[in-house]
Amino acid sequence: MAVPGMAQKLNTQMNLEFHASNVYLNLSEWCARHRFDGAATFLRTRAQKQHHPHYARI
């Protein structure tokens, strides 16, 4: 049996992580446009790490 309010807390956490992933991705695109290729690659990788594994666990 789930703890009362657990679904809401998980949903809130997932939304925070999805938002963080989008921020990393947007920063990555900005860096790519301004030819900061290393930073763009790093941020794109962070976006992928932030997004995928956490949703798979829940």
Q: Name the residue ranges covered by the structural domains of the chain.
A: 15-57
Higher confidence at residue 2 or residue 29? Answer: 29
CA distance 28 to 21: 10
In the predicted model, what is the mean pLDDT of the chain? 86
CA distance 58 to 54: 7
Higher confidence at residue 51 or residue 9? Answer: 9
Per-residue pLDDT at 13: 86
Q: From the CA atom positions of the chain, what is the Rg in Å? A: 15
Per-residue pLDDT at 36: 98
Q: From 52, 24, 50, select the one nearest 39 (Cα to Cα).
A: 24
Supply the DSSP symbol for 3: P
- pLDDT over 80 (residue 44): yes
Supply the DSSP symbol for 2: P
pTM of the model: 0.74
